[in-house]
Amino acid sequence: MSDVYLAEQQSLSRRVALKILKRELSSDESYVKRFTHEAKAVARITHPNIVHVYEVGLSEDRYFIAQEYVPGSNLLQLIEKQGSLSPERVVSILWPVASALEKTSTEGIVHRDIKPENILIGDSGEVKVADFGLARLLTFDEAPSPALTQTGMTVGTPLYMSPEQAQGKSLDFRSDMYSLGITAYHALAGRPPFQGETSLSIALAHVNTPAKPLELLRSDIPPSLARIVHRMIAKQPEQRFPSFLELRKELKLQQIQYPGRLPAGIDPASWNDCPLDPEQNAIIGATERLGNVMRKESARRLRSTLSFLAIYFFLPFFLAGSATYTAIHFQPQPLKKPEVITVPRKNDVAEQWLYACRLKSEDSQQRQDAWWAVITYFPDAAVIWEIKAKRQILRIDFRDNNPGGAMLLFQEFADMSDAWPEYRALGLAGLAWCYACMNQSDAATAELQECYYVSMMEPPIHDPLTIQLFNSALQRLSARPAKE
């Protein structure tokens, strides 16, 4: 539609991005309306993460918009350069964009073209949303006519288009949330979730095809972040976050795991304006209520319900094989953190992690010492490293059939905040396995029931260790006669 130039506003001695409508389109009323519509939409909003419009006008029969110039690159260029971005970097970009779209949604504006190219990243790290050329003003008296909406046929970019947008349905802020989720998926995976040879095939994929779980594409993506992204790209708008504020709350919980200063791009003011209130968080509240209900249920009813769930949801795992178990009587032992670590210290936590991953040893204690070294040598590293190292320690205890040494650590995971359901599920499944080994069927059943509800949240959790622990506990329980 337009050419964009780097220009200087001489009166203020500042550089601006000057968008000039192409000459051949200046005589087309619908194009002129769309061009000026962009400026009108953005000019209403003042926000640090939205490109500012300075002036819109007509000069020598040429329509123009003078707007803020952001030296740097856009998100697509960053992805193309790096292949994929770290989870922390993605969170630091999602936050300001969500803050900007929270502002536009309160003004009744739907961007309708959120994509990596329209997310600008300045040289100093600031993040800006640009190009409101397709924006729809839901509460503005001069909203675009149907003819304007149809100009150029498909409105939006198919790779990032929401299902309702692809189907020509009415849109609200949740369409922008979907597009932002697809953008985040692209940044994490290095490619969009849906690709095809034609725009139609891509649009149909958005409507009908589930996105491949991010956890299966990259092992270093926190499952909780993957859950956030997958909720953003739910097919049905009502299954997404109810507001950008709720999305920002979830992102804030993510950022907490990265200690230190706020990453470039996150405005401290917007950070402080997003207080965390677990009582108002739909996911946490629902999980806590379910847990309270489950703990009040009788053991008999829990076992009956669990038997149905086991048959319906976990039959494929049972068919893969079966085993006979002997009951183990034990008491929980203190965590086996070694007093002296003989593992060599590496330069940073990532190298220490790789050393533990590559260690070839049949000695379980030696392998666990390598994972304890990750925690002990780098106590100030991001908490996610400690969590993942402890998960590996538990995996070794499970493989060695050592519930006594693992129970306290499983309890630590089960006691984690409901904002981390994937790790809570792991802890609950582990406790169920430990109780099953102790012949405490009622306690094991209660832990399994709670684990089921936590792990089946949308999208469901696919952690292999959690599934193995769950199934092992179920098999132990099913091998015993039910109580009268």
Asked whether residue 27 falls in the same domain as residue 136, the answer is no
1 or 285, higher pLDDT: 1
Predicted TM-score of the model (pTM): 0.60
Asked whether residue 17 falls in the same domain as residue 135, the answer is no
Asked whether residue 266 falls in the same domain as residue 325, the answer is no
pLDDT in tens, 208-245: 999 998 878 887 888 778 889 999 999 999 999 999 99
Residue 484 placed within a domain: no
pLDDT in tens, 1-30: 788 999 999 998 999 999 888 888 888 887
Q: At what angle do helices 87-106 and 244-256 cross, to 10 degrees?
A: 160
pLDDT in tens, 335-391: 556 666 788 999 988 889 889 988 888 888 888 899 999 999 998 888 888 888 999
Lowest mean pLDDT: which of 280-284, 424-428, 430-434? 280-284
Q: Which residues contact 400 (CB under 8 A, 6 or more apart)?
A: 364
pLDDT in tens, 48-87: 999 998 888 888 888 888 889 999 999 999 999 999 999 8
CA distance linking residue 318 with residue 292, whole number of Å: 29
Which active-site residues does the annotation give? 113
Residue 402's domain spans which residues?
A: 285-478
CA distance linking residue 312 with residue 478, whole number of Å: 15
132 contacts 42 by C-beta, under 8 angstroms:
yes
CA distance linking residue 109 with residue 219, whole number of Å: 37
**Of the candidates 215, 239, 274, which is a domain's last residue?**
274
**Of the candidates 23, 44, 68, which is a domain's last residue?**
68
Whether residue 147 is predicted with pLDDT greater than 50 in this model: the reply is no
In 3D space, the residue among 465, 399, 396, 392 whose CA is nearest the CA of residue 428 turns out to be: 465
Asked whether residue 424 falls in the same domain as residue 300, the answer is yes
What's the full length of the chain, in residues? 484
Task: Give the residue-averaged pLDDT of 122-127.
Answer: 90
Asked whether residue 319 falls in the same domain as residue 404, the answer is yes
Q: Which residues contact 394 (CB under 8 A, 6 or more apart)?
A: 406, 409, 410, 413, 426, 430, 465
pLDDT in tens, 297-341: 334 444 444 444 444 444 444 434 333 333 344 455 545 566 667
Whether residue 481 is predicted with pLDDT greater than 80 in this model: the reply is no
Average pLDDT taken over every residue of the chain: 79
Helix, strand, coil shares of the chain, percent, nearest 5, are 55, 10, 35
Residue 147 placed within a domain: yes
Whole-number pLDDT of residue 319: 36
The percentage of the chain sitting over the pLDDT mark of 70, rounded to a whole number, equals 76
Asked whether residue 314 falls in the same domain as residue 418, the answer is yes
Residue 279 placed within a domain: no
Whole-number pLDDT of residue 312: 42
**Of the candidates 274, 307, 342, which is a domain's last residue?**
274
